Amino acid sequence: MTDSTAMHCVPGLPGQIDAFEFARRGRSQAGVFSVHRLQRLLDGLADQPSVELVALDEAPKDPGLVRYVLIGQLNASGRPQLVLRVQAKLLLECQRCLGPMVLSVDRQTAFDLVRREADLGEESFDEDSLDEPEKIVGSRQFEVLDLIEDELILEVPYVPRHEQCTDMVETGSDDSEDDSGEERPSPFAVLEQLKTKR
């Protein structure tokens, strides 16, 4: 497969493609755009920063941008296929400490194109089918943006959490066996000191 990291990346939203022709002719396109264009994704996220479309080759190294590479090709059995790589950094809110966390997404998926819903077949969960490409219905007005958004939505965890909450604020009302209480002056002790100084 083409090395997708080396592809020229242009700013702007992906438009519609003729999915079958795109695959048959082995076309490819790459681009970068603001995450603010993905309304369905944003509905489930914290506020994302607005960033300028700069340093395209490295984008997105900061939250706010989505980079994609779409490659059309024929699969091993000669059927049209789209390979989509999506890279983004999404800002999430950790559900344990409520602090911000950055989710790095770098997802590549191969989709076999079919003509009709009926050709999608039954979703199969056999182990053999795990490595098989997903199937999607292609069209002559195929919305690449929707596919990119779907891929990003799949990456967002249902309950985002830091692996380790470093800035976690101790609430004090927990029942942990924390014996550091002796070292910290209690607020009442501090009050006592203030009183005696008067």
Residue 123 token pair? 């979703």
Figure out which of the listed residues 35, 59, 94, 152 binds Zn ion, where binding follows CB under 5 A: 94
Cα distances (angstroms) measured from residue 191 to each of 34, 131, 170, 181, 185? 52, 65, 21, 17, 10
Residue nearer to Zn ion on the CB measure, 137 or 165: 165
Least Å distance, CB 169 to Zn ion, is: 10
Q: In this structure, how many other beta carbons lie within 10 angstroms of the beta carbon of residue 26?
A: 11
Residue nearer to Zn ion on the CB measure, 13 or 165: 165
Q: Is residue 79 part of the contact set for Zn ion (CB under 5 A)?
A: no
Residue 92 contacts residue 45 (beta carbons within 8 Å): yes
CA atoms within 13 A on the CB side of 39: 0
Burial class (CB in 10 A: 0-12, 13-18, 19+), 158: exposed
Count of residues engaged in binding Zn ion, rule: CB under 5 A: 5
Figure out which of the listed residues 61, 96, 115, 184 binds Zn ion, where binding follows CB under 5 A: 96
Residue nearer to Zn ion on the CB measure, 76 or 169: 169
Residue 45 token pair? 């996220």
Least Å distance, CB 63 to Zn ion, is: 16
Residue nearer to Zn ion on the CB measure, 50 or 95: 95
Figure out which of the listed residues 51, 91, 97, 110 binds Zn ion, where binding follows CB under 5 A: 97
Closest CA to 169 of 74, 65, 98: 98
Least Å distance, CB 181 to Zn ion, is: 23
Residue nearer to Zn ion on the CB measure, 93 or 143: 93
Residue nearer to Zn ion on the CB measure, 133 or 160: 160
Binding to Zn ion by CB under 5 A, coded x per residue (else -) over 152-171, reads ----------x--x------
Least Å distance, CB 156 to Zn ion, is: 16
Residue 30 contacts residue 68 (beta carbons within 8 Å): yes
DSSP H stretches of helix in 31-95: 39-42
Give residues in contact with Zn ion (CB under 5 A).
94, 96-97, 162, 165
